[in-house]
Structure 1
């Protein structure tokens, strides 16, 4: 029996967005920079990424063929090279091998054959090139001293900070004592903050029991790999688990907590600020009467949110201290997400907005998330402007990726561009990868995500498979019958979630909103996860697939192109538009416009953009809650 886990979801739409200003004179000033508010708390520093040491089996059995017709050694080289290529520059990575240098039969000598070939160091360009050169020269010749290598690998990582060992082995330890599982217990008993993840590469049943024990006693995870592709996928998932926990990004800014007066001036770009207590954040922004404004805000929690937490963005003239005449959007969390995100756009036309003196308006990010005594919480603010010049410049869509290159990213800005088709990868429980797809008005989107749950999977009563869609304003859209997560309820095998088909529309000039959220053409984001896992299940690697279908005939009308600034904090994903001119909150690379008063005429657009987020849930309902006067 299939069970769908649902919360009541009176669909929000929140749009209290008004239109462009009547008669404002000043031009947008892209050169303006964000100033600091006196007395505002400093933006919290992102935690250091985990230090990871890869321990690779180069014993003689690695010369045997894998299921794909290549040697296991060749498959391992491919997988490790992919890890080196994909490692963030700031991520400390080390590499230790065993069985790599001694081809003889002397057990004492063979069981001492373990070397640190790459110190644990950030993967800058020089370290990356050196590591790949070393991997290319690997040979598999010797014994399998797993226990000894684990001890040495722990020493390689040092004694402080978050540390992980990722062990790849195709067989039993041939050198015990010390038995590998006893070494793992020994490391755990030392109170060291260290976990060991293990990939059994075509390992026999006797070796799997030993390797699983290593993972179990250190609170690590275990995965089986049968060929080169599955080894690459499993290693990728394990390394992402260590590296891709969410780090908020953006240009540091300190919004006013005392209202619009004295707030910093922000121009198109991505900013990073902080929620403290229950205090709202205020910023000033310039917008001409012919321009449209987008504001998106994402609050990021380390431990998840209390249910009922709300984030709201609003913008308008600053005179009454409660800006809302240009746009107002909000969203509420039901507690399974470690982000709350929402965004809005002003509408075109004239006559429905209050004018702002000197074209200076105010943005307010309302904080119904943190309370007095809570830890500071990072908040990302994305500001965009659309006008005639950005429309003429246009925007390009990123080239969709396929195969291994279509592995999901871990934020809005690093979401992997994909097209219609089925995309497969492995996912570690607790991950929440992102993909992006470009959509035009008139097209219909259907997304199906499936996950293969192994026998004995340790799920809790609320563990399930979730697929969440976000539109170009970074608002969550509805997935069919309000269901967000498909509960496992002890089931194993393939479990699916389907969203759609949903037709993409354009919001009309009156601002009437689609209650399901599919009224903003452009970049849509797809996020998948095994939600709220039991502690015992965290890190378990399971296969998943994502099928995207885009049907229908796109309409020809042109939508606005939003410029989001030349933001160096953005991720590596190329940005794009929907092909109708709508640039979906992710930056862009149009050619320079001739109108120097336009943001495009002054600033070059970067590839990539937006606010990074890692979603662990995404169960959201709309309910307006205000602390003070509305």
Structure 2
């Protein structure tokens, strides 16, 4: 009976600890949530890295431009995210064009290093009678830390550049309508590494991590599984001890005759 009480006491303590740890983990993961999604989507684009229009993820930005312009937007991406940038170009009336066109999107990190697309149509050539161009670029998973010589995606600002790279000179300057959106798949602890940046790569930042409410900081879901494993190991130890220990009373040995 005593062993049973000890076992269930250990079980209750383990479950309580796991519940408290999970609650703290959820709270830590929610610290970066804000009302960015409620902000009005931008209706213009920048013309360089320095004038790039800032957008949030899952916010579709639009802009009217002339064929041949370089259009720039920027968005934040945190560790554990796998961003995908989508762009659409609505072309001028086919009767005003003289040839096909090739459009392209490129994505750069906060250090202005071009990031490779793992999949997606980064560049597309369309015929002279096409009405629109759809482009997409999926980056590698953003890492919390990397070697200085590596070109891995790191937390911070990412820049999107959209432009036409091939067309007849007579089609330069024709009006187009564009839209850009960045979305991410949350990879989570599966992509976590042992290390982190002191602050996200955000040009012009003061260096304080608190300035970036979208950044998750030290937390990844790997901590949850580590904590759960520790609790289960403790529970197994308590249960094994309770089931294998003696009754606690030494057996009386009869006196020798």
TM-score, L = length of structure 2: 0.56
Task: Determine if contact 1:406/1:417 at 8 Å carries over to the other structure.
Answer: no
Equivalent in the alignment of 1:124: none
Equivalent in the alignment of 2:94: 455
CA distance in 1, matches of 2:45, 2:143: 26
Task: Determine if contact 2:154/2:201 at 8 Å carries over to the other structure.
Answer: no
CA distance in 2, matches of 1:503, 1:445: 7
Write the deviation string for residues 182-214 of structure 1: whole angstroms up to 9, x where unpaired. xxxxxxxxxxxxxxxxxxxxxxxxxxxxxxxxx
Does 1:498 pair with 2:172? no
Does 1:536 pair with 2:174? no
CA distance in 1, matches of 2:63, 2:131: 16
Task: Determine if contact 1:440/1:554 at 8 Å carries over to the other structure.
Answer: no
Higher RCO (CA 8 Å, separation ≥ 6 residues): 2
Equivalent in the alignment of 2:50: 413
Q: 1:444 to 1:508 in 2, by over 3 A?
A: same
Task: Determine if contact 1:459/1:488 at 8 Å carries over to the other structure.
Answer: no
Task: Determine if contact 1:486/1:497 at 8 Å carries over to the other structure.
Answer: yes
Q: 1:445 to 1:467 in 2, by over 3 A?
A: same
Task: Determine if contact 2:62/2:177 at 8 Å carries over to the other structure.
Answer: yes
Q: 1:487 to 1:435 in 2, by over 3 A?
A: same
Does 1:588 pair with 2:212? no
Q: 1:408 to 1:498 in 2, by over 3 A?
A: same
Post-superposition offset of 1:490: 2.4
Matches of residues 29-428 of structure 1 in structure 2 within 5 Å?
402-403=40-41, 405-420=42-57, 421-428=59-66
Higher helix share: 2
Q: 1:447 to 1:459 in 2, by over 3 A?
A: farther
Write the deviation string for residues 439-489 of structure 1: whole angstroms up to 9, x where unpaired. 11111101110111232252545x312111011221111234596421113
Q: 1:520 to 1:491 in 2, by over 3 A?
A: farther
Equivalent in the alignment of 2:184: 550
Could you list the runs of 5+ residues in structure 1 that have no partner in the other structure?
Answer: 1-398, 561-580, 592-630
Equivalent in the alignment of 2:242: none
Post-superposition offset of 1:589: 3.2
Q: 1:500 to 1:457 in 2, by over 3 A?
A: farther
Task: Determine if contact 2:94/2:128 at 8 Å carries over to the other structure.
Answer: no
Post-superposition offset of 1:491: 4.0
Does 1:468 pair with 2:85? no
Equivalent in the alignment of 1:442: 80
Q: 1:422 to 1:553 in 2, by over 3 A?
A: same
Bigger radius of gyration: 2
CA distance in 1, matches of 2:54, 2:188: 19
CA distance in 2, matches of 1:483, 1:518: 21
Post-superposition offset of 1:588: 1.6
Write the deviation string for residues 560-607 of structure 1: whole angstroms up to 9, x where unpaired. 3xxxxxxxxxxxxxxxxxxxx2133x112357xxxxxxxxxxxxxxxx
CA distance in 1, matches of 2:82, 2:61: 19
Task: Determine if contact 2:115/2:139 at 8 Å carries over to the other structure.
Answer: no
Could you list the runs of 5+ residues in structure 2 that have no partner in the other structure?
Answer: 1-35, 209-257
Post-superposition offset of 1:553: 5.7
CA distance in 2, matches of 1:589, 1:468: 27
Q: Number of aligned pairs?
A: 166
